[in-house]
Amino acid sequence: MKPILILTALCALTACSRETPEAVKNAAAPTANTPSAAATAGPAGDGSTFIGVPKQKAPDYVGRWIGVEGMYLYIKHAATPGRYRMEMQWDLDHKGEFRGEAVGDTIVFERNGVREVLRPTNGDATGLKYLAGKAECLTVKAGEGYCKK
């Protein structure tokens, strides 16, 4: 009696299944050695992470960055990976400490209620004559930039 009940239950489940045996067979069939789009899309869906290829490490901006006329930027790692603690003087009258977060190759932070972004540039892109020609710089906006020595 038990084998008949089990067989009947299996038949009922198979009949109610939305997949046909052919669809199941095709789904299980091996494919070429190319990863699927979902597998290579990465967490952002931008194709930045590929199977077997390590994801590029985010740039490390920790250290001292020098601006003009006494402006400076010190970047330190925070306790959480991808987060930073920053101390900066961004003009002659204003300085403060801020928390930043790595977003791609930038650091996003909030200063006086305004969302700002530190992005990697060269000295010419800072718009500051004193920094022109320097190679390794971070720029917030035109007229506000900091470079490594």
The CA distance from 144 to 84, in Å, is 19
Structure token pair of residue 105? 């190759």
The DSSP call for residue 37 is H
CATH 2.40.128 fits 63-147, yes or no: yes
3-state secondary structure of 20: coil
Least confident span in 8-12, 94-98, 110-114: 8-12
Model pTM? 0.61
**What are the sequence ranges of the domains in the chain?**
2-40, 63-147
pLDDT tens for 40-86 read 444 444 444 445 544 555 578 999 999 999 999 999 999 999 999 99
Element (H, E) at 27: helix 21-28
Backbone angles phi, psi at 108, to 5 degrees: -100, 135
The DSSP call for residue 113 is T
User: Nearest to residue 82, comparing CAs of 53, 106, 115?
Assistant: 106
End-to-end Cα distance, the chain: 86
